[in-house]
Amino acid sequence: MRKILVVGAGQSGLQLALGLQSHGYEVTLMSNRTADEIRTGRVMSTQCMFHTALQHERDLKLNFWESQAPKIEGLGVSVAGPESERVIDWVGRLDGYAQSVDQRVKMAGWMDTFAQRGGQLVIHGAAVSDLDYFSRLYDLVLVSAGKGELVSMFGRDASRSTFTEPQRALAVAYVHGLAPRPEHPDYHAVRCNLVPGVGELFVMPTLTTSGPADILFWEGIPGGPLDAFEGVKDPAKHLSLTLDLMERFTPWEHARTAEVELTDAGGTLSGRYTPTVRNPVAHLPGGGLVLGVADVVVANDPITGQGSNSASKCAAAYLDAILEHGEKEFDETWMRSAFDRYWATGRHVTKWTNAMLGVPPEHVLNLIGAAGALPPVANRFANGFDDPADFEHFFYDPAKTEAYLASVTGATVDA
């Protein structure tokens, strides 16, 4: 039986560990926190997972909360004008629903499941020196812990990394009491509110430790008015600031917040990081090799909501690569090929995310504007969140955008 060590108990690490476990591998999972510590701790993300990523969970029978989490059937975009009025507002319908489950719920539940199924769970932080030792005991070591000393082992890939500093200041609040959305009260949608030159507000339904809730998520351009959460430690002040900024920049969203309160004392999060693509293979001092997983090696800004989706897709790609490899050695050639398998989809996420962080060119503004009058355009844009590779066909190149809009307009006129 092949022995595999997974360091890090997030979406990718746990999904991969449970997947390997289901195929009879002897898996050890290292986490720096217990399931209870995760469950009662601070929120970790703004996860919204779309159909393909959710299907990877279903395939492994890990969709424990699918019947409880709100079904997100649409994705909407609003753009603020100079007087904080909505100059663009539309919603596209998703082909398959999305869902968001607070990672405190999911990761704690999956950790308990891994242990109950006989997996070896080690609660301990890991250092490079530990991995040096473990690499001699295990057939394969996978690092899915996305912060700290371990990440520094994986060198930055300058050819694939556009940025050298954070592009957004991030601030998250999980809340109860958000009033129903008047535009589409009969179904749930993620809403992306774009404030040109300032940043973005995302509002999404979720399932948290206390039941259904909503996430209010500001992405602020560094140095701008939304870059105001650094040093704010008090959760109540964090929420108050979130709402004040909503009133100023997205009053249509603020109008729903009269009864809002935090879900719990751990329901806020703020910070920033630099989007980076790293070398997937790290060489340990003793000669061993480890393979980086998901955002350890491909860390995108959350502006496109792809973090958990990418983590799920990476875990699925690595699981298939491991199963296909059989009893052969997990050498550096194999490690790089496993990453390349993931990068075939991951590169589209990175390209799209980096594009969304910049000032949108005229043809993209035309596309977003046209979606308000052309439902097929709105729907295609929304479903790009599930399959970002599709943006290659109608988003980046002005000529392709123009041709696509012309084809939709022609079809609409002919109808």
Cα–Cα distances (Å) from 240 to 4, 237, 246, 258, 268, in that order, read 46, 5, 10, 12, 11
The CATH number of whichever domain residue 234 belongs to comes to 3.30.9.40
Within-domain flag for 178: yes
Co-location of 25 and 56 in the same domain = yes
Provide the greatest CA pair distance for the chain. Answer: 68
Residues 299 and 349 in one domain: yes
Same structural domain, 239 and 140 = no
φ, ψ for residue 297 (rounded to 5)?
-115, -20
Instruction: Verify that 190 and 302 share a domain, yes or no.
Output: no
Residue environment code for 233-259, b if the CB has 16+ CB neighbours within 10 A, otherwise e? eebeebbebbbebbeebbebbbebbee
Per-residue tokens: 2: 């092949």
Q: Specify whether 146 is located in the same domain as 261.
A: no
Q: How does pLDDT run across 36-55, given as a tens digit for each residue? A: 999 999 999 999 999 999 99
Q: Note whether 322 and 336 are same-domain residues.
A: yes
Asked whether residue 7 falls in the same domain as residue 123, the answer is yes
pLDDT tens for 255-294 read 999 999 999 999 999 999 999 999 999 999 999 999 999 9
Q: Is residue 33 classed as helix, strand or coil in its secondary structure? A: coil
Q: Closest Cα to residue 6, out of 342, 19, 108? A: 19
Q: Distance between CA atoms of 314 and 293, rounded to whole angstroms?
A: 7
pLDDT at 149: 83
In a domain, 34, yes or no: yes
Spatial neighbors of 397 by CB under 8 A, at least 6 apart, are: none
Question: What integer pLDDT is reported at residue 411 of this predicted model?
Answer: 52
Residue 26: Cβ within 10 Å count: 16
Do 77 and 223 lie in a common domain?
yes
> Buried b / exposed e across 147-161, counting CB within 10 Å, b at 16+?
eeebbebbeeeeebb
Listed residue (382, 316, 377) closest to 345, CA to CA: 316
Question: In this structure, are strands 188-195 and 199-208 parallel, antiparallel, or unpaired?
Answer: antiparallel
Q: In whole angstroms, give the CA distance from residue 377 to residue 93.
A: 10
- Does residue 67 fall inside a structural domain? no
Structural domain ending residue among the three candidates 232, 252, 271: 271
Same domain as 314, residue 174: no
Residue 156: inside a domain, yes or no? yes
Is residue 242 a part of any domain in this protein? yes
pLDDT at 414: 38
Domain C-terminal end among 238, 271, 304: 271
Q: Considering its fold, how many domains does the chain have in total?
A: 3
Show which of 271, 304, 331 is a domain's final residue: 271
Q: Which CATH number does the domain housing residue 330 bear?
A: 3.50.50.60
Domain presence at residue 200: yes
Q: What is the pLDDT of residue 146?
A: 65
Instruction: Decide if 156 contacts 278 (C-beta within 8 A).
Output: yes
- Rounded to two decimals, the pTM is 0.96
Is residue 44 included in any domain, yes or no?
Answer: yes
Ranges of the chain with pLDDT below 70:
146, 411-415
Task: With beta carbons less than 8 A apart as the criterion, state whether 347 and 87 touch.
Answer: no
Please indicate, yes or no, whether residues 304 and 405 belong to a single structural domain of this protein.
no
pLDDT at 413: 38
Other C-beta atoms within 10 Å of 374: how many? 18
Q: State the Cα–Cα distance between residues 204 and 190, nearest whole angstrom.
A: 5
Written as one letter, the residue type at 85 is: E
Query: Which domain, by its residues, includes 319?
Result: 3-62+103-163+276-357
- Amino acid making up residue 233: K
Q: Is 201 in the same domain as 349?
A: no
Query: Do the domain assignments include residue 251?
Result: yes
Co-location of 319 and 208 in the same domain: no
